[in-house]
Structure 1
């Protein structure tokens, strides 16, 4: 210290700055335990071992808006691609309000069934909570919206919307153009009789309660797993595993299981979630379920998030007919991406397609590849964010009122959502976090609305393919 006092003022200042910088660099390492939180979870779930500890959960200070931090004209890399055809359904979801626009009254009409309100103004997102959703559906949906703002900085228009995170569609499609307009409500699932604005479900950013990681990383792992176990080496049966108690249709499906007297070519298993939770969810890894030559998809209470995991297995998916859809399933075509199965006669239908596939292996393998390619490429996380952007942008164009931030709303930040979460929830948020950049990949180009004749042809093709399969089955069992 005495030697330092002998230095000149300039030298002493440089030494002091160097000391302070060294202290700041060392600060994150002070007080770290040798046992980190990730030791409680398998190492394969973790992208980086020290990143989570760096999240500033000691403060709820709002993250600064991206506006002003990124150039108003960000560097765009490459031309925009054409969006997949299922993006056309964005226009159809919004058709009930195309002529009238969306008034505040139409939004507030959905308030009794809404779980939360989302307001986006000047690149910031706010949430007013009315009721908690099942498990952490609301948390991860809001996390996805927050990542969207990072994915497309300065591109999300000001808007205000209500969100319901239950399974059953809550609004009814008007019978004619003169009928009162329905509530403008966002949900995960719709049906032909509903007027719902469909939005990607929470599980694309992780389903912590059942240890299913975010889709971006999981999709890559499923693609690699498909290469490890070839289709011809898989069990030559139709596989399904799930909770049968959420819907009578699933209980009916269990009647197709193999018995001493009958083999319907199905291998069906009950998922006991209570036992799974007690056992650490070791038997519910979706990567371990691409082991059969055929997979079965059947609704839960309505649609099921399992559809994407089932389709991604490179095995042809047998889809039990359903009136429900999510945002991407309207892009799937029977006999191209999946094999349709009648809901009222499941067992003979399953037996027939597996027997048919043994005689037409190249055809069913091609169907499995196309279904898997659809999920892994056309429903990649890039496309998920593109769909969100276009859906919200088209919705915002219809608004006839100026969005405002309610007094009870909270600004969403990484800390607000991640800090109250448990260890696995925070891990999934870290894994799915979008890193901001001045280099922006443009969203895909939204296709125009379907013309009436295009819609008519599309629906007719789907009906005809399903009827063709029914005709084949009927001829076979006569």
Structure 2
């Protein structure tokens, strides 16, 4: 179901020869650079997520593809709907870092510890436990799900890896909040066009500088606001343009 609409769209625009190719329907990249298998061959596998230690050909994620193909056709989560439903302007947003998600990385659990230690600048909690169910008593209880549009009642958004790259990242960039992105080996199809401290604020993979950088943004609101203005939704344009070109 994730590939049919993409292939049908391509088939309406071009005459495709009889061909076979590999599509990875999981999240993790599969063609590792240091693969030492018996044949020691690499394959042209298309994946939604790439990494610095893999050779997969990265294509737009399934939800970005769907929102591009269905743009304006029906109500769904896409970048335009995020822009249209982010209610508050910067000056009226809460000066805290906001995050909701499931327990799909150890760093996300660390974020809960940080949030509890600094409740005046963080509003973060887990909505589901799957990978660390035995630690729910430590990092729970689970919080209710929140409308994605309500994320942007807050000035600062956190982009943290899940099992791979967090596929919400392009939507976070479109919401008019300042995005703090975890350094990671994983990437989506448009990441190479992004510039740190222009389109987002990088934070260490282990989150050790997260508190410092959020506090800086709070203490330097005008500078943070100017940084946000530099984005000018460039990531949204690049993300969609690249997806349209591929479709």
Q: TM-score, normalised by structure 1?
A: 0.43
How many angstroms apart in 1 are the aligned matches of 2:232 and 2:98?
A: 16
Query: Of 176, 186, 192, which aligns to 1:314?
Result: 176
SS of 1:140's partner is: coil
Report which of the two has the higher share of strand. 2
Query: Of 217, 223, 230, which aligns to 2:89?
Result: 230
SS of 2:233's partner is: helix
Which aligned runs of 4 or more in structure 1 are off by greater than 4 angstroms? 155-158
- Tell me the residue number matched to 1:189: 49
How many angstroms apart in 1 are the aligned matches of 2:90 and 2:76?
A: 25
Query: Of 191, 206, 210, which aligns to 1:344?
Result: 206
How many angstroms apart in 2 are the aligned matches of 1:264 and 1:375?
A: 30
- Tell me the residue number matched to 2:150: 288
How many angstroms apart in 2 are the aligned matches of 1:271 and 1:336?
A: 30
Residue 241 (structure 1) shift: 0.6
1:194-245, Cα deviation, whole Å (9 max, x unpaired): 0101111111216xxxxxx655xx322222234x31011111011111002x
* Structure 2 spans left out of the alignment, 5+ residues: 68-74, 131-143
2:22–2:44 CA contact under 8 A, matched in 1: yes
Cα distance change, pair 180–312 in 1 and its aligned pair in 2 (3 A): same
Q: RMSD value over aligned CA atoms?
A: 2.8
Residue 186 (structure 1) shift: 0.9
Structure 1 residue 243 and structure 2 residue 102: aligned? yes
- Tell me the residue number matched to 1:360: 220
How many angstroms apart in 2 are the aligned matches of 1:180 and 1:305?
A: 31
How many angstroms apart in 2 are the aligned matches of 1:142 and 1:339?
A: 36
Query: Of 97, 104, 112, which aligns to 1:254?
Result: 112
How many angstroms apart in 2 are the aligned matches of 1:214 and 1:160?
A: 32
How many angstroms apart in 1 are the aligned matches of 2:155 and 2:15?
A: 43
Cα distance change, pair 314–377 in 1 and its aligned pair in 2 (3 A): same
SS of 2:2's partner is: helix
Compare CA radii of gyration and give the structure with the larger one.
1
- Tell me the residue number matched to 1:61: none
Cα distance change, pair 336–158 in 1 and its aligned pair in 2 (3 A): farther
1:333-387, Cα deviation, whole Å (9 max, x unpaired): 11111111112243xx22222222234333322333444603332222x54120x
Report which of the two has the higher share of helix. 1
- How many matched pairs? 224
Structure 1 residue 266 and structure 2 residue 129: aligned? no
Worse overlay, 292-301 or 336-345:
336-345
Q: TM-score, normalised by structure 2?
A: 0.79
Residue 251 (structure 1) shift: 1.1
